[in-house]
C-alpha cells in the first residue's frame, strides 16, 4: 500500500466573481474579493480521498503556498477528508510573484521530506491558467507524469492514467512514484459539510517557510502590465452577399 | 464541482405527471382553467420527500451538535450579539459555546447598505473601536436634503434636530465593517461558519425552539438526490437567535408558529437600490429602472459623470418602524436586528439599532444562562427580559419619537403634508403627540390591477450613468450551484400566469432587481409561462414581499450561493 499522497491546493478568486483590474494596472483587485479553492484542486483532493477510502493509500496531506488566508483552503481540503495540512507561508512581494516554478520547487522538496509516492495536483489554476506546476514538479523530481487525468487506477506499484488529449483519450502506465494532474472529468468532488468542517478544526496544519525547504523564491518572470480585455465593438449587419463582399473589400480584407 | 455544473447543462426529462392540469379559482373568484402547466417548483418544502419514490432508502439521519447559543445570520445584529456574549463570558470567566451560521461564503458577502453609520452602538460594544481598526474612515461633513422634480431641485433646509442630520456619523462600507466585526468575534472565541445556511427551525417536544438544521446539499434541479447528497447538520442550543436581516425566511415561519405578529402592524418595506419604497401601486413600475432614471436627474448626473460602475446590489429594508415590531421572544429563541425591524426610517439608519438589539439579547441571555437558580418550563429557554429591556432602551425611545413621520406622508396631503407634519410634530414636539398613525397594510396588497394603471416608458440606459439590468447583475458576483431545486418556490405553480400575469401584468418581471422572473411564450405557441432564473438571485427578498398573490416563498439555497459583495 502506498504510504502518502501529497495534494496541492490553490486559493484563487472564485470563478463567478467579476474580475477588476487595479487602477495602477499592476494586477487585479483581490482585497475582500470572494476566493475559493481552485476547482481542479477540488477534483485532486476528491481523488486522493477516494484512494484513501479504497485503502490504496494511507495518508493524504494537503499543501498550499501563500499568506494566512490559504489556511481556509487547507481547512476545506481537511473537511473533504485530507488527514493533515502543510501551509508554506509566502506573503508580500514573494506572493505577488509566486508562480509555477517556485511552487513546483516547494512541492518537490516536500515530496522528498514527506516521502510521498504520489502527488496529485489540479491541471491548472483558473487565475493564471499556467498548466505548468505538475509538469515542472515531475521534472524536478525526475518522476513520470500523468497529466489531464480523467481516470486514475493504482495497480500494485504502477499507476494507470487515462489522459484527455487533443485526439481523444490516451491510456498510459507509470511506475510509482508519480505526479498526476486532475482534469475535469476525473470525478465530482464532495461538499465540505459543516460537521466535517468542525472535525477538520482538530486536524493539524503545519507551518513552514520556503527557506526551511531550501527553496529560492526569486521569480524569473516580471509582470509589466495588466489590462482589461478591449471592449467588444459592435458588429455590422449586412443584407446580402454582395454587401458582405463590398464591406470586406472596403476594410481591405480581401 | 463548479466547473462540472458549467459543463453539464443537464436537461432533465420530466415525466408526464409533472404537467398537472389545473382548474381553480383566482382571487376574484373566477375559475381559471389552464392547459398543462410546466412544473416550476421542485423544492422539498413544497413537495415533501417522504412520499417521493426517488428518496426511498436514502439515509436522512443528521449529525447533531450542541452549543449554548446558536445565532442565525452573521450580520451586524448577529455578530454584535455573539461578541457581547463572549465579552460577558470572558469577563465572568464562564465557558460559553457560541456558534454563528451564515449563508454567505464569507462574512460580509451578503451585506448591502447605503450605510451612513451612527456609531453609538459600536461605541458601546467596543469603546476602543478606533484603536482596533474598525473601518470607519469617512466622517460626514455636510448634509444636503432636497425634493427632486422632473428637472429641478428644491433644497430643503437641514435644521439641527431633524432626524436626517448626520453630524457625528460616518459613511461606511458596511460589508467591510461586518467583516471586521467577524474578525473581532473570532478573536473572542466565537465559532463562525460562513457558507452554511440555516434551512430549518427545530422544535423540542414541548414546542420550544431546539435549534436549527443547516441546508442539505446535493439535490438535483428536479428534486432527486445526487451522488454527492448529504444531509445538513443539526445545531442544538438553549437559545437560538434569529438575525436573518430584513424579511428572513425562518422568521417568516416563526411568526406563524408562535403568532408573533398579533397586535402589531404588518411590516412595510423598501428596496435599497437606493431607495424605492415597496408600497407603490402601479404594477408597471420597475424599481431598477426608476433608479437608472434617477441617476440622470440634472442635479445627480454631474456627480456621477466620469465615474465607472464597479459594483451592484439590492436588498429589501424594513420601513414599518415602531408600529410593525412584532413580539421578539418565544420559548427557545428570539429575533434580533432588521429581521423584526428596528430601522429609524426618516434617519434611514438601522445598523445601530440592529447592533444594539443584538447586544441587549446577549445580555439578557447571558444573565439567564448563568443564573444558578434557573427553572425553565421549556427545554428551550424563554428570555422575555430581552424584549422588556429593549422597550426601556434608546432603541425604543428613538423609534417611538419618529413613528408618525412616514405614515404622515400617506395622507391625501401627500409629500407636503408629510413635511409639514414632520416639521411641527417631530422637529418642534419631538414626537410626543399622543396618537400613533397607521400604515396602509401589506405591501403586496397595494398593487392596483394593471388595466387601471398606465405602463411607464423608461428611457434606455446610456451605458455611462445608467445601465441595463443583466450587466449590473453580473457585477454582483452572484452565483448558485445550478443543479439544485429553485429556491424561489411557488406554493402553486399555476398562479403566476393565471393571476399575477392576468391581473397585474406580471409585476415580478419588473420588481426583481436581478432578472430572476421572466414570462416567456410557451413552446406550443399559445400563452405564457414563468421562467425562474434562480441563479441570478441576489437574496434581496423583494419578491417574497411584493408578490400580490403571496405565492412566492423564498427559501434558502445551498450555502455559499448568492451575491459576492465586497464592502457594499
Mean pLDDT of B398-424: 81
Q: Three-state SS for B496?
A: helix
CA distance B244 to B567: 18
For residue A59, what is the DSSP state?
E
Question: Residue B22: what pLDDT?
Answer: 41
CA distance B532 to B489: 9
Nearest CA-CA distance, residue B5 and chain A, Å: 10
CA gap B304, B466 in Å, rounded? 10
Report H helices in B210-350.
249-258, 287-295, 301-304
Residues in contact with B62: Cβ distance below 8 Å, sequence separation at least 6, in sequence order: B213, B231, B232, B233, B234
Select from B2, B108, B233 the Cβ nearest to the Cβ of A194.
Answer: B233
- pLDDT, averaged in runs of 10, over chain A (254 residues): 88 91 92 93 98 95 96 96 97 94 97 96 96 98 98 94 96 97 96 92 95 94 92 86 91 86
pLDDT at A108: 97
- B74 CB neighbours in chain A (<8 A) are none
User: What is the rounded (10 degree) CA torsion for B394, B252, B540, B169?
Assistant: 0
DSSP output for B36-92:
PPPP----TTTS-STT-GGGTT------EEE-SEEEE--SHHHHHHHHHHHHHHHHT
Determine which one of B116, B529, B537, B542 is catalytic.
B537
Nearby residues of B550 by Cβ (< 8 Å), 6 or more positions away: B444
Inter-chain touch A184–B7, beta carbons under 8 Å:
yes
Is residue B307 less than 8 Å (CB to CB) from chain A? no
For residue B562, the 8-state DSSP code is B
**Which residues of chain A have a CB within 8 Å of the CB of B214?**
194
Closest Cα of chain A to B477: distance in Å? 5
Query: Which pLDDT belongs to residue B35?
Result: 53
* pLDDT higher than 60, residue B6: no
Is B293 among the catalytic positions? no
Give B230's strand partners. Answer: B217
B265 neighbors B325 (Cβ within 8 angstroms):
no
β-strand pairing of B333-335 with B488-490: unpaired
Looking at A26-30, B79-83, B144-148, B501-505, which range is the least confident one? B144-148
Between B313 and A1, the more confident residue is: B313
Please say whether the beta carbons of B563 and B478 come within 8 A.
yes
**What residues pair up with B518 in beta bridges, in sequence order?**
B531
**Nearest beta carbon to residue A193 from set B101, B230, B475:** B230
The per-residue pLDDT for range B328-372, each reduced to its tens digit, is 999 999 999 999 999 998 888 999 999 999 999 999 999 999 988
Q: Please give, rounded to a whole number of angstroms, the shortest distance from the CA of A20 to a CA of chain B.
A: 8
Asked whether the beta carbons of residue B564 and residue A190 sit closer than 8 angstroms, the reply is no
| CB atoms A195 and B478 under 8 Å | no
Chain A residues whose CB is inside 8 A of the B101 CB are 194
- Which residues in chain A have Cβ-Cβ distances shorter than 8 Å to B217? 191, 193
Mutation target to probe the A interface, by most A beta carbons within 10 A, among B64, B190, B195, B312 is: B195
CA dihedral B252, B256, B258, B260 (to 10 degrees): 70
Q: Which residues pair with A178 in a beta bridge?
A: A118
Q: Which of A15, A17, A193 sits opposite B233 (nearest CB)?
A: A193
Q: Do A191 and B230 touch (CB under 8 A)?
A: yes
Suggest the residue from A193, A196, A200, A234 to mutate for an interface test with chain B (most B CBs closer than 10 A): A193
Size of interface A-B (CB pairs under 8 A): 73
Q: In this structure, how many other beta carbons lie within 10 angstroms of the beta carbon of residue A83?
A: 18
Q: Does residue B110 belong to the interface with chain A, where contact is any CB pair within 8 Å?
A: no
* Cross-chain residue pair B477–A39, CB shorter than 8 Å: no
Which of A14, A16, A125 is the mutation pick for testing B, counting most B CBs within 10 A? Answer: A16
Catalytic residue, candidates B173, B289, B315, B529: B315
Three-state secondary structure string covering B170-233: EECCHHHHHHHHHHHHHHHCCEEEECCCEEEEEECCCCCEEEEEECCEEECCCCCEEEEEECCC
Question: Per the CB < 8 Å rule, is A194 touching B193?
Answer: yes
Q: What is the mean pLDDT of residues B225-248?
A: 94
- The residue count for chain B: 568
**B116 among known catalytic residues:** no
Q: Which pLDDT value is given to residue B462?
A: 86
Whether pLDDT at B275 is above 60: no
Q: Give the distance from CA A102 to its chain's centroid.
A: 14
Of the candidates B540, B49, B159, B124, the one whose C-alpha atom is nearest the C-alpha of residue B312 is: B540
Active site residue B315: yes
Q: Name the band, by pLDDT with cuts 50, 70 and 90, for residue B150.
A: confident
ipTM score here?
0.84
Contact B228 A190 (CB under 8 A): yes
Assess whether B351 carries a catalytic annotation.
Answer: yes
Least confident of B323-327, B424-428, B490-494: B424-428
- In chain A, the N- to C-terminal Cα span, in Å, equals 65
* pTM over 0.90, yes/no: no
What gap in Å lies between CA B22 and CA B37, rounded to an integer? 8
- Of B318, B405, B324, B311, nearest to B77 by C-alpha is B318
Task: With CA atoms as reference, report the closest residue to A36 among A92, A86, A74, A87.
Answer: A74
Q: Which residue has the higher pLDDT, A253 or B277?
A: A253
Cβ contact, residue pair A17, B1, below 8 Å: no
**Cα gap A54→B236, rounded to integer Å:** 34
More confident residue, B32 or B128: B128
Kindly name the residue from B42, B489, B540, B542 that is annotated as catalytic. B540
Sign of the dihedral defined by the CA atoms of residues A89, A94, A98, A102, in that order? negative
d(CA B108, CA B111): 5
Contact across the interface for B564 and A188, Cβ inside 8 Å: no
Would you say B66 and B41 are in contact if contact means Cβ atoms under 8 Å apart?
A: no
- Give the separation between CA A87 and CA A92, rounded to whole angstroms: 16
The span from the CA of B78 to the CA of B103, in Å, is 13
- Give first-to-last CA distance, chain B, whole Å: 28
Summarize the confidence of residues B471-496 as an average pLDDT: 91
- pLDDT of B294 higher than 90: no
Return d(Cα A90, Cα A64) in angstroms, integer. 10
| pLDDT recorded at residue B105 | 92
Please tell me the predicted confidence (pLDDT) of residue B13.
37
Q: Which of A29, A21, A18 is nearest to B564 (CA)?
A: A18
User: Other CB atoms closer than 10 Å to residue B548's CB: what's the count?
Assistant: 22
Instruction: Determine which one of B99, B246, B338, B512 is catalytic.
Output: B512
- CA distances in angstroms from A4 to A52, A110, B323, B362, B370, listed in the order given: 10, 12, 64, 47, 48
Cross-strand bridge partners of residue B150: none
pLDDT score of B266 more than 60: yes
Question: Does B533 have pLDDT greater than 50?
Answer: yes
Residue of B113, B240, B268, B444 with catalytic role? B113
Q: How far apart are CA B77 and CA B85, in angstroms?
A: 12
For chain B, what is the total number of helices (H) and then of strands (E)? Answer: 17, 26
Any catalytic annotation for residue B41?
A: no
* pLDDT on residue A47: 98
Helix (H) or strand (E) holding B148: strand B145-148
Q: In what helix (H) or strand (E) does residue A65 lie, and over which residues does it extend? A: strand A57-66
Amino acid at each position: 500500500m502506498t504510504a502518502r499522497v501529497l495534494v496541492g491546493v490553490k486559493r484563487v478568486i472564485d470563478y463567478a466573481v467579476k474580475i477588476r483590474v487595479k487602477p495602477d494596472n499592476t494586477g487585479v483587485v483581490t482585497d475582500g474579493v470572494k476566493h475559493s479553492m481552485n476547482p481542479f484542486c477540488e477534483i485532486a483532493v476528491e481523488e486522493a480521498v477516494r484512494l484513501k477510502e479504497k485503502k490504496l493509500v494511507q495518508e493524504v496531506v494537503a499543501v498550499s503556498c501563500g499568506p494566512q488566508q490559504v489556511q481556509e483552503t487547507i481547512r476545506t481540503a481537511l473537511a473533504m477528508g485530507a488527514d493533515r495540512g502543510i501551509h508554506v507561508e509566502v506573503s508580500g512581494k514573494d506572493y505577488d510573484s509566486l508562480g509555477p516554478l517556485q511552487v513546483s520547487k516547494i512541492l518537490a522538496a516536500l515530496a522528498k521530506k514527506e516521502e510521498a509516492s504520489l502527488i496529485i495536483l489540479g491541471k491548472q489554476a483558473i487565475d493564471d491558467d499556467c498548466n505548468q506546476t505538475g509538469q515542472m514538479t515531475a521534472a524536478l523530481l525526475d518522476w513520470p507524469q500523468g497529466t489531464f487525468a480523467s481516470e486514475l487506477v493504482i495497480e500494485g506499484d504502477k499507476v494507470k492514467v487515462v489522459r484527455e488529449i487533443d485526439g481523444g483519450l490516451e491510456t498510459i502506465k507509470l511506475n510509482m512514484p508519480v505526479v498526476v494532474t486532475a482534469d475535469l472529468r476525473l470525478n465530482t468532488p464532495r461538499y465540505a459539510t459543516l460537521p466535517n468542517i468542525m472535525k477538520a478544526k482538530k486536524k493539524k496544519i503545519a507551518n513552514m517557510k520556503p527557506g526551511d525547504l531550501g527553496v529560492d523564491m526569486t521569480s524569473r518572470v516580471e509582470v509589466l502590465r495588466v489590462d482589461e480585455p478591449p471592449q467588444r465593438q459592435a458588429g455590422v449587419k449586412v443584407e446580402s452577399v454582395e454587401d458582405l463582399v463590398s464591406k470586406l473589400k472596403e476594410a481591405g480584407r480581401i | 464541482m463548479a466547473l462540472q455544473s458549467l459543463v453539464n447543462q443537464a436537461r432533465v426529462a420530466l415525466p408526464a405527471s409533472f404537467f398537472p392540469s389545473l382548474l381553480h379559482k383566482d382571487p376574484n373568484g373566477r375559475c381559471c382553467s389552464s392547459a398543462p402547466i410546466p412544473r416550476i417548483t421542485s423544492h422539498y418544502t413544497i413537495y415533501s420527500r417522504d412520499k417521493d419514490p426517488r428518496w426511498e432508502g436514502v439515509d436522512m439521519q443528521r449529525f447533531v451538535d450542541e452549543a449554548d447559543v446558536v445565532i442565525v445570520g452573521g450580520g451586524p445584529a448577529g455578530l454584535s450579539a455573539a461578541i457581547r456574549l463572549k465579552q460577558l463570558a470572558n469577563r465572568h470567566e464562564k465557558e460559553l459555546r457560541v456558534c454563528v451560521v451564515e449563508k454567505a461564503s464569507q462574512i460580509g458577502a451578503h451585506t448591502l447598505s447605503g450605510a451612513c453609520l451612527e456609531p453609538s452602538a459600536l461605541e458601546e460594544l467596543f469603546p476602543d473601536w478606533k484603536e482596533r481598526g474598525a473601518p470607519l474612515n469617512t466622517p460626514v461633513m455636510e448634509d444636503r436634503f432636497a425634493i427632486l422634480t422632473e428637472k429641478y431641485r428644491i433644497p430643503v433646509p437641514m435644521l439641527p434636530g431633524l432626524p436626517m442630520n448626520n453630524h457625528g456619523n460616518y459613511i461606511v462600507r458596511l460589508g467591510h465593517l461586518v467583516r471586521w466585526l467577524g474578525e473581532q468575534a473570532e478573536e473572542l472565541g466565537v465559532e463562525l461558519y460562513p457558507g452554511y445556511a440555516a434551512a430549518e427551525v427545530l422544535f423540542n417536544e414541548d414546542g420550544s425552539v431546539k435549534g436549527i438544521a443547516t441546508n442539505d446539499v446535493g439535490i438535483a434541479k428536479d428534486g432527486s438526490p445526487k451522488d454527492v447528497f448529504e444531509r445538513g447538520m443539526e445545531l442544538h442550543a438553549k437559545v437560538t437567535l434569529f438575525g436573518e436581516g430584513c424579511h428572513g425566511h425562518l422568521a417568516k415561519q416563526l411568526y406563524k408558529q408562535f403568532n408573533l405578529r398579533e397586535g402589531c402592524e404588518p411590516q412595510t418595506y423598501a428596496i435599497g437600490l437606493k431607495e424605492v419604497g415597496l408600497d407603490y401601486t402601479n404594477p408597471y413600475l420597475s424599481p431598477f429602472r426608476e433608479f437608472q432614471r434617477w441617476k440622470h436627474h440634472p442635479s445627480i448626473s454631474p456627480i456621477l459623470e466620469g465615474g465607472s460602475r464597479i459594483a451592484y446590489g439590492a436588498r429589501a429594508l424594513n420601513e414599518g418602524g415602531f408600529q410593525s415590531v412584532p413580539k421578539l421572544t418565544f420559548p427557545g429563541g428570539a429575533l434580533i436586528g432588521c429581521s423584526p425591524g428596528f430601522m429609524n426610517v426618516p434617519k434611514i439608519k438601522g445598523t445601530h439599532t440592529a447592533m444594539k438589539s443584538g447586544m441587549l439579547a446577549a445580555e439578557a441571555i447571558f444573565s439567564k444562562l448563568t443564573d444558578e437558580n434557573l427553572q425553565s418550563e421549556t427545554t428551550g429557554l424563554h428570555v422575555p427580559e430581552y424584549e422588556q429591556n429593549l422597550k426601556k432602551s434608546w432603541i425604543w425611545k428613538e423609534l417611538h419619537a419618529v413613528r408618525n413621520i412616514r405614515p404622515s406622508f400617506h395622507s391625501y396631503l401627500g409629500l407636503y403634508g408629510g413635511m409639514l407634519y414632520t416639521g411641527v410634530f417631530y422637529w418642534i414636539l419631538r414626537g410626543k403627540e399622543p396618537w400613533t398613525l397607521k400604515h396602509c397594510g401589506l405591501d403586496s396588497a397595494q398593487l392596483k390591477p394593471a388595466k387601471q394603471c398606465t405602463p411607464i416608458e423608461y428611457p434606455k440606459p446610456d451605458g455611462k450613468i445608467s445601465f441595463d439590468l443583466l450587466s449590473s447583475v453580473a457585477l454582483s458576483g452572484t452565483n448558485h450551484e445550478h443543479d439544485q431545486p429553485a429556491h424561489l418556490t411557488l406554493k402553486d405553480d399555476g398562479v403566476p400566469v393565471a393571476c399575477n400575469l392576468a391581473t397585474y401584468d406580471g409585476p415580478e418581471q419588473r420588481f426583481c432587481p436581478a432578472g430572476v422572473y421572466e414570462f416567456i411564450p410557451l413552446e406550443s405557441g399559445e400563452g405564457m409561462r414563468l421562467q425562474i432564473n434562480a441563479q441570478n438571485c441576489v437574496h434581496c427578498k423583494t419578491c417574497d414581499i411584493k408578490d400580490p398573490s403571496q405565492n412566492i416563498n423564498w427559501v434558502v439555497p445551498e450555502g455559499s450561493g448568492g451575491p459576492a459583495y465586497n464592502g457594499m
